[in-house]
Amino acid sequence: MSKTIDPIPFARPFIGAEEEEAVLRVLRSGWLTTGTEALSFEKEFAAFLSRERQDEIHALAVNSATSGLHLALEACGVGPGDIVVTSTYTFTATAEVVRYLGAHVVFVDVKVGTYLMDPDSLERTLERLSQGLPAYSPRQSGRDPAMGYGPTGKVKAIIPVHVAGLACDMDRIVSLAHKYGAQVIEDAAHSFPSRLADGRWVGLLGDIGVFSFYATKTITTGEGGMVVTHNKDVANHISVMRSHGIDRSIWNRYTDTKASWKYAVVAPGYKYNMPDVLAAIGRIQLGRAFDLLEMRRHIAERYNQGFSSVPELIVPPSGIENAWHLYPLRLADFSDSAARDRFIELLQNQGIGVSVHFIPLHTMPYYADLYHFSESDFPNAMDTFIRTVSLPIWPGMTEEQIDRVIETVMKTIGQLKG
């Protein structure tokens, strides 16, 4: 009889007694939805990001990063007929919010080996669109450039996605955005906390940044997100739009607290506020952020070391202070997704939870039909997709579990080769 082993899940939140106590405290307080906990969470989050720098940061708690991205685009004035550029190598949330506003999504490819938006591809796309040409070059060389395909329009925003916690080339992306008159919204769902070598936090490198506290993310509230910006006007606008377009400051300016039933609706806003029950969890998780990061970094280092002797296993790039939301492992020898799928199946059969980040959006039926994409339109994204597998990297993994992941990966690679 073979020995049964406990499966290692792909992801698992790190929740302790402090989170339980915080939730109980809110449940007993008589106030469940957005209130003092959410306000404190925002203040503490802003303080976290400004602890070593004196710049003013506004942090706005929302019920998901998806909501945060929607609010950010709305605050940038994105509307019907506009264009928002992002990478095809992302989760569907990044692009769907563009469609909520009736604008067009234009995808760019990733840079080989990085998972991240390719600034050269971005530049070519921005240049084409600025000339009134369709977003994508003709599929056959030698054709008239006007024979391209995809939407035309004004680029209002660019959304770089910091996949896995790695940072996009923000200096180039921001300077291209300035040149072509677009705003930059960072999808920092994977990046709390990541920073560049010079200490600048990912999420505060463009105009607006959005973090996610979804159940599998680096710190979690179950569901939730945080929008950050240096721009006070943008922060005020988002604050109003996340709660029905209600502007309380209009009345508060003229009245005392007794008139709190009065409010002014200044826009048909959204219902995107974060309830206090969740904010209370977030405050505790925020306090653990560096400890949790240390645990993920340790796992990443163990993996890097464990795989270093196998040339066809390509570990994630280094060079920044990565939040290590994901540990994407690239398998250089895989030439199609069938080999990757087989590898995943074998790992899963041995009780190792794995995933793939991401299935490029241009291959999804909705976008493929809408913009007439073929898979080969974004070759670097496809090349990355067919070779990449995300391994478990969650705080609380034991040394024995880490060893087992390494051993199982090595054994399985050997099996596939043999």
Ligand X SMILES: *Cc1c(COP(=O)(O)O)cnc(C)c1O
Given the rule CB under 6 A, which residues bind ligand X?
Answer: 64-66, 90-91, 93-94, 161, 187, 189-190, 212, 214, 225
Minimum distance of ligand X from residue 75's CB (angstroms):
17
Minimum distance of ligand X from residue 112's CB (angstroms):
20
Q: Which residues pair with 211 in a beta bridge?
A: 226
Inter-axis angle of helices 276-307 and 399-417, nearest 10? 50
Question: Which residue type occupies 80?
Answer: P
Minimum distance of ligand X from residue 56's CB (angstroms):
25
Tokens representing residue 23 in the block: 């939730």
**Nearer to ligand X among residue 94 and residue 137 (C-beta):** 94
Distance of CA 335 to the CA centre of its chain: 27
**Nearer to ligand X among residue 215 and residue 264 (C-beta):** 215
How far is residue 314's CA from residue 108's CA, in Å, rounded to a whole number?
23
Minimum distance of ligand X from residue 223's CB (angstroms):
6
User: Among candidates 411, 39, 42, 73, which has minimal Cα distance to 50?
Assistant: 42
**Nearer to ligand X among residue 90 and residue 322 (C-beta):** 90
Whether 271 is a known active-site residue: answer no
Minimum distance of ligand X from residue 214's CB (angstroms):
4
Tokens representing residue 209 in the block: 């940044």
**Nearer to ligand X among residue 93 and residue 110 (C-beta):** 93
How far is residue 337's CA from residue 360's CA, in Å, rounded to a whole number?
13
**Nearer to ligand X among residue 160 and residue 306 (C-beta):** 160
- Identify the three-state secondary structure at position 242: coil
Place of tokens 């720098």: 53
**Nearer to ligand X among residue 307 and residue 327 (C-beta):** 327
DSSP 175-201: HHHHHHT-EEEEE-TT-TT-B-TTSPB
How far is residue 137's CA from residue 125's CA, in Å, rounded to a whole number?
9
**Nearer to ligand X among residue 49 and residue 71 (C-beta):** 71
- Identify the three-state secondary structure at position 410: helix
Residue 372 region, left (φ>0) first, then alpha (ψ -120 to 50), else beta?
left
Inter-axis angle of helices 379-387 and 337-349, nearest 10? 30
Distance of CA 130 to the CA centre of its chain: 27
- Widest pairwise Cα distance in the chain: 78
Q: Which of 217, 258, 411, 417 is catalytic?
A: 217
Minimum distance of ligand X from residue 191's CB (angstroms):
9
- Identify the three-state secondary structure at position 387: helix
Question: Which residue type occupies 237?
Answer: H
Minimum distance of ligand X from residue 294's CB (angstroms):
22
Place of tokens 């919010």: 97
Catalytic residues: 217
